[in-house]
Structure 1
């Protein structure tokens, strides 16, 4: 720095002066001494330049504005004063000039608070670091950073504080705001229909409702991809993007939950954000006795873990389960009781079930082979909507039971049913296929059928249908007629057949079938027993009667027919299904592939 003297009229105020652009100061306190003795203390100046060239004997004042203004005032009054002393700073070091201005003012008349903020900010703009500023002025790093944050506020906000139109808390919280947020806040301030938040409300507004301190984070801040804003006037820093914080925090909570489960806890329940944990509504329960872990999360992200608890209701269920286990009851039942609280509500469960049901129904229609297996599985094991039962085949008369036991048809069906029970894993001694819930229900049977070829599945379906076919039904008649069942393959007149006949008119009609009209008419008035004996002779070829081979009474044929005009159930059913089968034959003629060839 070089010392010299200069004419006050050749001086101007440097833009680096911390009071540049401010109204002229009050110099009434120093003007009398300047009139008498002139300016005695040195002003700090820079050489004035124009278009990069130094203007000789012209300078810009960095520090000493009030003394210069007093000298100009004295000259304006006609007082002759000596040139004023100046210290010429080296050109190019703006930061040094700003520091000089600030130091000089701090040592004399302290500048206003906002001017200090602005000057510190200009020092940083000119190349000084916060640490260098702290060392120069003997301040702590925290104080300098706070001052720089205040100086970085939008000019209008600084002026609002300078004019005392906003308070200290508001201006400090605004240092947490981005430039866009500061502009948005000013827009609210200018809107007559809205109220700009101030104080603590401003802090909540800046962070979207709730400010989340970084001290609540379970994750490492070093790996956090979002922004963190430090509160220079407090001890905390805050997350700017709450959504990003919650995503990271939830991931950390999930990892903690997995670790607790891996540590042997039976269940770890994470409560809703803001939901409290009340110990008085819970019972202490150790891990070994089924105790759970409850994790609470506050609205500001704080996490607490409560290990070894059950709700009062769960504790009672656990105690009851332990008592049942002590009595030797099923441990599975005890476990089910312990886990009795469902995962979803009843309405939500219905929603899930019905949507899944709708999708599977369509899928089954698209895959008829799978649908066939599901149908057969339901028929075998039953379900809530399926109650397929085997025909009881329980005759009231013992003689009928004896006859059925000797029937070749019964033996043939038993053989086929045995093959199916073996395929389904029911065991060789199974008495039937239907109603086998021990297979795991319809789902278990369905799983077995999925591993079988279509031919085998159709074989199972055939046995299932045959076993559940109702005796004495229209369906028996329809199937028998359609398949042209030859009853003679499986039946021959036996003792029960003859013993059960009681009607003379019917027996005489049968006698006419096997022996002819002359024989029948000749025995028309004979007793039933006599006519049955003659009928039997023809069937068996005894007592000189010619044997009638493979005779089948019209009762047993397909379609069934009556021997009299009186009601006969099988004949009535035959008349019922006849038109239905005729329509089926017509349809089959136009669509030969409508049914597999038999």
Structure 2
């Protein structure tokens, strides 16, 4: 190979150029630089039959751009060219592909034409894949386009049909492809594309091989594969369902042998309505529900009972005996008003005694919160995040990990299932009051207070005034619980704020020197200072002002939720406490009771 400058009128496009067919390519992105500086990257050329003339193996877009400039009347200099040694067409085509793949990736039809030519010249699929850095399966997928009618390939090259439609057309016979083209050309007819095309080809009964629960090779059922090698379907849906239902029955037997009390195989096409069921393990009568879709897909929902059963098992709906007892008798022993009289007097007596037993009251209150019993309805902080990255950041942070460790200890003390996500009961997952209260009565005060702390943490609303007040009282130091991560930096976009943070972690001089930099550069400086990377001194443990206790803002523009909450707390604390009994009577000391005070 040698380099030379060749006049544009001595160049033509080679038949081996993979972009050599079709209309001239779009060169709008190249024209400005070609007009200003000409062609900088040499074209790949080789001699042709005319002396002094060469054909372009790779570089049609650059050649086209120069031709456009020439037609505009612009000055055109000789083009730098790398002249290949005279060799076979396969070598030239290979060079053309390598050149083009390194630049603007050609469409799949152009790749197919080039791959077919290479294979016909003696290259194996593996050799083609190794040369161009493709997987062998990708080369085979592209070669599969050869089984399509030429017009379909042309439509695909032009972008008139998408890759999904082409993939399904590779499943079609030539007669089906012709029938589909007739629909495509008929403006008054519906032409199926995408998934609708698959249903059209299979009469609506296409069942993917990937849904089979049985050994496909052993079953020896007829299979139709798309020529891209990505999807395969059963040719005989009846034969599929015979084998699939046998496999489902085998799975059912395995579940029963494993100790599950029941396996319910749902009617084909019925959906498992998760909202009507709750999780329950084997010991609590959980069943396996087998959902069978018309598509052939089968899902096994392990460990569920209906919400009605769950309510009965938890005591909320009563047992069968209780339901019998709850049936209205023909002639009740006491009337409704007398029942109310009994209930209200017993209630008054119990709470009068309870008023002298703070420890029992605390346990009763805690049991009410956890079980959501009677008049108590407490919501759990959902920690719902607007972005997945933020949710992951919170879920994996040190503070959340520390809280979860303590929560698991409480679950164990109360005898709850270790897989229960919270101590505080959720709707349809609330423990019965009586056994929970009994367990709390058995526990010493320090343990009960630890349980209170976990339940309070689960029901503490994010962004609330309570978070501000409790954090201030405890002296929460965010530096011990948090450090800047990718999710934090992704949300930082305000340059004024970024400059203020840069000044905090890198110093005022660095911030002033980078005042004109874009947000991305400022983030990099902050990250380097926090990590002590790229030659920058490691900053002291740092948290943004918004996250500290108490929080403050970087600007006067407002809009900081934590600062607003802190301001409300400060305002409430500054208001006079008109009805404070402790202030009026003096604070009790020693073991004096409130009444004694």
TM tier, shorter chain? 0.3 to 0.5
TM-score by length of 1: 0.41
| Structure showing greater Rg | 1
TM-score by length of 2: 0.41
